[in-house]
Amino acid sequence: MKRVSESWKPYFLVFSVLLLVLTVVGDQYRPPLESADHDSEASHNHGHSHDPNASSESPKTLDEAFSQAPDPGAIPVDPVREHRMAKFHYNEGNKFLNKGDWKEAVRNYDMALHHDPALHEVYINMSNAYLKGQQYEEAKKTLDTLKTQAPKNPHLYYNLACYYSLTHQETASLEALQQSIRLGYQNPNDAQTDPDLANLRQTPEFQQWVKTL
């Protein structure tokens, strides 16, 4: 290898220093590389834009939206089918009532009302079942419910007369019985044989009234 002349040594030294300075300055102005983490995040967000003015809904707002949305799996109520199911359970309740099983009768009457709350005869026979089971307060509640729906139902007042008689409220019993007759109860002679009206029949007021029938 050819050796550098001694006369070039000062120039070579200056050139080396200048080259070192340029290298340092160049590193300071070099644009930074994107990190691997940033590249990874960008790849995950590919295809999704971000609007800085957009607001995300809170979980509460979403819950409210779902609660108010219609249930796509809900089955539309068929009034004809519901009435038919109510009649079925009503008839089943009558079978149990005739057998003396008042609890099973009430269970079926309750299912009947679940399908059709406006089936008035269910309330009548349900109150009969409660009276048979000596569940007097439940019988009264059942009749009071019917009274809000059909205040002129003659069977309603006849069963109220039975309830009042069984609970030794003879005056109220007679008034209810008289009301049932005025509203068209078709078997007034039942009052003279019905065991639920035994307490009422012992009163002078009833004995006097029955003569007017």
Q: Within 10 Å of residue 111's Cβ, how many Cβ atoms?
A: 17
Residue identified by tokens 């983490």 is 37
Kindly report, residue by residue over 161-185, the tens digit of the pLDDT.
999 999 999 999 999 999 999 999 9
3-state secondary structure of 7: helix
CATH code assigned at 87: 1.25.40.10
Q: How many domains does the chain have?
A: 2
Question: 126 lies in a domain?
Answer: yes
Give the rounded percent of residues in the chain with a pLDDT score beyond 90. Answer: 62
Question: Of all residues in the chain, what percent are helix, strand and coil, respectively (each to 5)?
Answer: 70, 0, 30
Same-domain pairing of 130 and 156: no
Question: 60 lies in a domain?
Answer: no
Question: 25 lies in a domain?
Answer: no
Question: 103 lies in a domain?
Answer: yes
Using the predicted structure, report yes or no on whether residue 139 has a pLDDT greater than 90: yes
Same-domain pairing of 117 and 163: no
Kindly report, residue by residue over 1-33, the tens digit of the pLDDT.
444 445 555 555 556 656 665 555 554 544 444
- Among 119, 120, 112, 131, CA closest to 153: 120
Same-domain pairing of 130 and 158: no
What integer pLDDT is reported at residue 15 of this predicted model? 61
Please tell me the distance from the alpha carbon of residue 95 to that of residue 101, in angstroms, as a whole number: 9
Question: 201 lies in a domain?
Answer: yes
**Which residues fall within 8 angstroms of residue 136, CB to CB, at 6 or more apart?**
130, 163, 166, 167
Question: 131 lies in a domain?
Answer: yes
State the residue range of the domain holding 186.
152-213
